[in-house]
Amino acid sequence: MKWRRLLSFKRWAEVFKRLPRLLRAPQIPLHEKLLFIIPVLLYWVLPDVLPFMPIDDIGVTLLLMNWFVSRAERKYPVLPSRT
């Protein structure tokens, strides 16, 4: 992924708008949604157990959000249009 796109406020605004729609979409199977939810929840809990983790919880969550939105929209293009 290009750094310009990753650092773009417009891109992050789109990701934040699309994520809830994708998590609620019945066309996306539960196991696909769990690929995002489980790692995020684990990372939010594990740094408390393993304090030597160098990346912030929010940073990991944002990267996983970006990955999930890109993957879900690429894999399930029949979802309602991006509005």
Q: What is the pLDDT of residues 31-71, one digit of tens each?
A: 999 988 988 888 887 766 666 666 677 778 888 898 899 88
Angle, helix 57-75 to helix 9-24, in steps of 10 degrees: 70
Q: 18 pLDDT exceeds 80?
A: yes
In a domain, 80, yes or no: no
Per-residue pLDDT, 76: 85
Per-residue pLDDT, 34: 92
In a domain, 81, yes or no: no
Cβ-based neighbours of 73, under 8 Å, separated by 6 or more: 18, 22, 79, 82
- Range of the structural domain that residue 42 is part of: 3-75
Distances (CA, A) of 36 to 4, 52, 53: 23, 23, 19
The number of folded domains in the chain is: 1
Q: 82 pLDDT exceeds 60?
A: no
Q: Rounded to whole angstroms, how far apart are CA atoms 13 and 31?
A: 25
Per-residue pLDDT, 11: 80
Backbone phi, psi, residue 63, to 5°: -65, -40
